[in-house]
Chains A and B, each alone.
Chain A
């Protein structure tokens, strides 16, 4: 497969997105068909590329000196690009139905499709500058999506989102510069590229910079204390919250941290230093903090957003274990959480779309009226709790396994945090499920008489995600094999 194709998968969504806003479609249906076709074509292209991986790199842009925007596909890129390309067509399908009751769809879909390209850009970046480039771009193209309703709170949310994201990128930028200057190359190479020996006296400085960059990229991955933007951004339409704020954007942050830790700074350098303990402490705190906030929160989407915060730090916790197994755990949770969270968000969206109820205490008795939606929501809740047989258990198991294997006392604390978070997850998710299925005795069924399941465009993605959760939960072996190869640096 030609390397130029790497450029294609990034630019094609751009072109398609721009065309969406330029072509005067005859009717809504024509536009939707166009969008879905474009997205599916791109996904197919991505998979064709992933299956016949080009060995070389493709340089799109040269800034100055050795700084360039370059694409390359390695194991980690395969995972992220593969994940994104599977989720995007389904999420797009879902959003067709959801966006019916929102205005100016054209702008929405323009940016929605463009974001696909940008996310793939992050996935396929060959060096840290390219990643930074797409990382910033991601902030910009997703802002209009947050802004979508143009209501006051949307504007405030978009503002917060921008401040946090660009602010975080500013610190990540420092880390990037250090990698460029101190690294033998700025490309991503498993095991790290830093030239430590000549700068032995600067070890502490480099560690400090690592922490800084970790927190910088961590803003997108919503580590505490930089997580306030995520629940706020929940004002965006649900497809955005689900796909972007549960998958693409936040996972880009986590992905960037993986790259930073395993591919730029290198775990040999970081392991056992104060930097590792610092970042691990942050993730452990965030795990517990996110869950506690989710328990407190009454708004469904914001509750799920807090849940995302906590779950992202699972991934980051895996990363900060800094062993190959840690990376395996992190990648497993990256994939599993994507499926679980997009599923629960879509259910929440379907509920909001069909009943216009958005607070937990309004959901009484809906379980009967929307059996499919709530059935799937229950499955995703159980998966998030880590019930064996569903994918959440696998990822939790792998993370804990890595933590135990690392024989690092501090990571034992992390296991404790995972489990505290699991019980809190049970509280905030089962709270919803129980309410929906077992309304209070005196509940009047008439008030929700006309609630019903959404149509196939919403249910199809939900069904597929459920199948995915089960499949990943029962037969994750091939995927784990892939991750293990990546973490050994083989793939």
Chain B
């Protein structure tokens, strides 16, 4: 049993080694290795989850046996392991789902490079999840940025290059802000390990010292991470990079990369600053307002969009708005809702990206709405998958979107009126807007049209089809049996404190 506590560390090392090893392999072997690694990470994480759930405590794992403050620590509880498990599932499905496209869109010599980046990304995500050290977190944020950038750029076209550049610039601004914040925090507390910082911060607040630097640090960190996770006014990089990159990349980027930063932000809230202090500062109000704006304006942009991939990308802006709105509620229930929404959005959005590709494939590779007419009949499984994803996004019962909506609304009802009403009204309005663009698309793909597109053969697209089915199962499971997951999340959050 005790052996299980090493697993998170193993999975980190495993992914990093895999990325190094696969740089020397050819595409085929790199692909196989990648799948094995992700599956292994999933198994390791679930074992760790089992450990934490059964013992109901969190573990601190010292890297290299150096004690704090010199050493580097990994800390994992229920939430972290759950997150790691979930990320690996989504990662696996996304990579497999877009496999066909990788062959088509990538230079064959670069295929192994792609898996290098994926492994690297996975390791950085795991590190963001597990680390107990702010500087390590920063390092992996950068690694994450670089690998994500690579994933966007690897499909070499004008659009992706531009998108990657934009992404790079915005991301680096975000990392820069984060670094500033960390430096200030280090300056005033003298620590880098999260638990130590938290003690110091509590002390500072109690003695009312360094008030302004503390606030500035918080602002920098929060804004930095918000920029990186594409919160509303900072989302300009997002549609292009999700819209033009290869399918797997889009799915991974939308459902995992931004979520990694958000998870880090939650950790900062709970583990670094302390939730009470954060809620007292005004920064959450700003996040609340931006979140609400994101929900509305993201959807409005999506409605105007004429390209299915970009539409889904804009929808992500809206969904990230939900998550930040949950933070802005300033209650534990709000955070739980946000975390659940990380799951549900990750599951649904990656599914949407993968199925959207399935639909565009049978429409002459066109992403325009008009060309998608009737695509649901030409590629049945992708059509159904897209419909399920759309329903989930709209928040229809049985699907995870509904559960997160309920959680958000319940959290929203218990806060004072000046937050409650905006939350509820925005939830409702955003549901309507989501309906408008998603249902429009669903109806579009089921409107018959006389064309000479070739219907896709089931066998040709076996992998994608199976992935789609798994996605559907995952979503429905998340939607119908959400209770244990919500339970785990709240336990995990309790362990943070």
Q: Which residue of B lies closest to A162 (CB)?
A: B439
Residues of B within 8 A of A448 (CB): none
Q: Mark B392-429, 1 if CB is under 8 A from A, else 0.
A: 00111110000101110110111001001000110111
Nearest Cβ on chain B to A64's Cβ, whole angstroms: 4
In the complex, A166 has a CB within 8 A of chain B: yes
- Asked if A233 is an interface residue, CB under 8 A from chain B, the answer is no
Report how far A62 CA is from B482 CA in the complex, Å: 9
Q: What are the interface flags for A292-321 relative to B under an 8 Å C-beta threshold, 1 for contact and 0 otherwise?
A: 000000000000000000000000000000
**Selected contact of B432 from candidates A64, A65, A150, A166, CB within 8 Å:** A166
B410 in contact with A167 (CB, 8 Å): no
Complex CA distance for A244 and B157, rounded to whole angstroms:
51
Query: B439 touches which one: A62, A163, A171, A181 (CB < 8 A)?
Result: A163
Q: Give Cα A178–Cα B435 distance, bound, in whole angstroms.
A: 23
* Centre residue among A61, A64, A163, A202 by max chain B CB count within 10 A: A64
Complex contact B435–A137 (CB within 8 A)? no
CB pair B397–A132 under 8 Å, yes or no, is yes
Interface size on B, residues (CB 8 A): 37
Of B396, B435, B447, the residue contacting A155 (CB under 8 A) is B447
Interface membership of B473, Cβ < 8 A: no
**Given contacts A136-B397, A167-B432, are A174 and B443 in contact (CB under 8 A)?**
no
Interface members, chain B 475-494 (any A CB < 8 Å):
480, 482-483, 486-487
A166 with B417, Cβ < 8 A, contacts A64-B483, A177-B410 known: no
Report yes or no: A61 in contact with B480, Cβ–Cβ below 8 A: yes
Contact A159 B431 (CB under 8 A): no
A63 on interface, CB distance cutoff 8 Å: yes
Collect the chain B residues with CB atoms within 8 Å of residue A170's CB. 395, 427-429, 431-432, 435
**Cβ A163 vs Cβ B482 within 8 A:** no
Residue A322 is within 8 A (CB to CB) of chain B in the complex: no
Task: Choose one: B405, B413, B435; the contact of A181 (CB below 8 Å).
Answer: B413
| Chain A residues positioned under 8 Å from B483 (CB to CB) | 62-65
CA distance A70 to B11 in the complex (A): 43
B residues 351-402 with Cβ under 8 Å of A?
A: 391, 394-398
Known: A167-B431, A174-B424. A64 touches B486 (CB 8 A): yes
Q: Is B211 an interface residue (CB 8 A)?
A: no
Cα(A202)–Cα(B448), bound, Å:
51
Q: Which of B398, B412, B439, B487 contacts A166 (CB 8 A)?
A: B439
B436 at the interface (CB under 8 A from A): yes
Query: What string of 1s and 0s marks CB contacts (under 8 Å) between A152-192 and chain B?
Result: 00010011001100110111011001101110000000000
Give per-residue flags for A201-235: 1 if the beta carbon is below 8 A from chain B beta carbons, else 0.
Answer: 01001000000000010000000000000000000
A167 to chain B, nearest CB (A): 4
- Beta-carbon contact of B448 and A205 below 8 Å: no
Q: Looking across the interface, which residue of chain B has its beta carbon closest to that of A209? A: B424
Chain A 259-284 residues near chain B, CB threshold 8 A: none
Contact status A159-B443, CB under 8 Å: yes
Question: When the two chains form their complex, are residues A136 and B428 in contact, meaning their CB atoms are under 8 A apart?
Answer: no
| A251 to B394 CA separation, bound complex (whole angstroms) | 24
Q: Is A147 interfacial (CB-CB < 8 Å)?
A: yes
A159:B424 contact, CB within 8 angstroms: no
Contacting residues, chain A, for B439 (C-beta < 8 A): 159, 162-163, 166
Chain B residues in 8 Å Cβ range of A162: 435, 439, 443
B32 within 8 A of A: no
Closest CB of chain B to A201's CB: distance in Å? Answer: 10
Looking at the assembled complex, report how far the CB atom of B427 sits from the nearest CB atom of chain A, in whole angstroms.
Answer: 7
Q: Using a CB-CB cutoff of 8 Å, which residues 41-66 of chain A contact chain B? A: 61-65
Find the B residue at minimum CB distance from A152.
Answer: B447
- Say whether B446 faces chain A, with CB atoms less than 8 Å apart: yes
> B28 contacts the other chain (Cβ, under 8 Å)?
no
Contact A133-B397, Cβ < 8 Å, known A150-B447, A162-B435, A181-B414: yes
A99 at interface by CB-CB < 8 Å? no
A147-B443, A177-B410, A181-B414 known; A163-B435 Cβ under 8 A: yes
Knowing A159-B440, A166-B432, A170-B431, the reply to whether A147 touches B446 (Cβ < 8 A) is yes
How far, in whole Å, are A201 and B407 apart by their CA atoms in the complex? 24
**Contact across chains for A174 and B427 when beta carbons are under 8 A apart:** yes
Q: Could you tell me if B443 and A180 are in contact, using CB atoms closer than 8 angstroms?
A: no
The reply to whether the CB of A67 lies closer than 8 angstroms to some CB of chain B is: yes
Residue of B nearest to A178 (CB): B413
Q: Does A420 contact B (CB under 8 A)?
A: no
Q: A205 to B410, Cβ gap below 8 A?
A: no
* Nearest CB of chain B from residue A446's CB, rounded to whole Å: 39
Measured CA separation A171–B432 after assembly (Å): 9
- Residue A140 at the chain B interface, CB threshold 8 Å: yes
* Nearest CB in chain A to that of B409: its residue: A177
In the complex, what distance in Å separates the CA atom of A67 from the CA atom of B405?
Answer: 13
B396 proximity list for chain A (CB < 8 A)? 136-137, 140, 166
Given A167-B435, A177-B409, A181-B410, are A155 and B443 also a contact pair (CB < 8 Å)? yes
Indicate the member of A133, A158, A177 with the most B CB atoms within 10 Å. Answer: A177
Q: Are B394 and A166 in contact (CB under 8 A)?
A: yes
Q: Are B443 and A64 touching (Cβ within 8 A)?
A: no
Minimum CB–CB distance from A256 to chain B (whole Å) comes to 14
Assembly CA distance A217 to B30 (angstroms): 54
Residues of A within 8 A of B405 (CB): 173
Q: Which residue of A lies closest to B403 (CB)?
A: A63
**Assembly CA distance A221 to B458 (angstroms):** 43
Query: Closest approach, in angstroms, between the C-beta of A350 and any C-beta of chain B?
Result: 28
* Complex Cα gap A167–B191 (Å): 50
Nearest CB in chain B to that of A65: its residue: B483
Most B CB atoms within 10 A — which of A62, A63, A147, A162? A63
Contact (Cβ within 8 A) A174 B410: no
Cα(A314)–Cα(B124), bound, Å: 62
* Closest beta carbon of chain B to A7's beta carbon, Å: 15
Query: Which residue on chain B has the smallest CB distance to residue A130?
Result: B397
A155 to B445, CA, bound (A): 11
Looking at the assembled complex, report how far the CB atom of A275 sits from the nearest CB atom of chain B, in whole angstroms: 16
Query: Are B409 and A174 in touch, CB under 8 angstroms?
Result: yes
CA distance A202 to B417 in the complex (A): 9
Q: What is the bound-complex CA distance between A62 and B428, given in angstroms?
A: 24
User: Which residue of chain B has the shortest Cβ distance to A68 in the bound complex?
Assistant: B483
Measured CB to CB, the closest approach of chain A to B399, in angstroms, equals 10
Distance between Cα atoms of A67 and B397 in the complex (Å): 12
Complex Cα distance A166/B447, Å?
A: 20
- Is A166 touching B424 in the complex (CB atoms < 8 A)? no
**Contact call A140/B435, Cβ cutoff below 8 A:** no
B70: shortest Cβ distance to chain A, in Å?
Answer: 43
For B448, list chain A residues within 8 Å (CB). Answer: 150
Docked-complex contact A140 and B391, CB < 8 angstroms? yes
What is the minimal beta-carbon distance from B331 to any residue of chain A, in angstroms?
13
Kindly state the separation between the CA atoms of A162 and B394 in the bound complex, as whole angstroms.
Answer: 11
Q: Taking CB as reference atom, which chain A residue is nearest B387?
A: A140
Among B431, B443, B486, the residue within 8 A (CB) of A173 is B431
Task: Choose from B410, B432, B440, B480 the contact partner of A180 (Cβ within 8 Å).
Answer: B410
Known: A133-B397, A140-B391, A150-B447. A64 touches B403 (CB 8 A): yes
CA A147 to CA B445, docked complex, whole Å:
12
Cβ B443 vs Cβ A158 within 8 A = yes
Task: Tell me, in angstroms, the Cα distance from A169 to B425 when the chains sit together.
Answer: 13
Contacts of B394 in A (CB 8 A): 166
A163, A170, A177, most chain B CB atoms within 10 A: A170
Q: How close is A101's CB to chain B, nearest CB, in angstroms?
A: 18
**Which residue of chain A has its CB nearest to the CB of B484?**
A64
Residues of A within 8 A of B397 (CB): 132-133, 136-137
27 A-B interface contacts by CB (under 8 A): A63-B480, A64-B482, A64-B483, A67-B406, A132-B397, A133-B397, A140-B391, A147-B443, A150-B447, A158-B443, A159-B440, A166-B396, A166-B431, A166-B435, A166-B439, A170-B428, A170-B429, A170-B431, A170-B432, A173-B427, A174-B427, A177-B424, A178-B413, A180-B410, A181-B410, A182-B413, A202-B417
Knowing that A136-B396, A177-B409 are A-B contacts, what are 16 other residue pairs whose CB atoms are under 8 Å apart, sorted by A's residue number?
A: A61-B480, A63-B483, A64-B407, A64-B482, A65-B483, A140-B391, A140-B396, A163-B439, A166-B394, A167-B428, A170-B428, A174-B425, A177-B412, A177-B424, A180-B410, A181-B414
By Cβ-Cβ distance, the 10 closest A-B pairs, closest first, are A170-B431, A167-B432, A177-B409, A170-B428, A166-B435, A133-B397, A64-B483, A162-B439, A181-B413, A174-B424
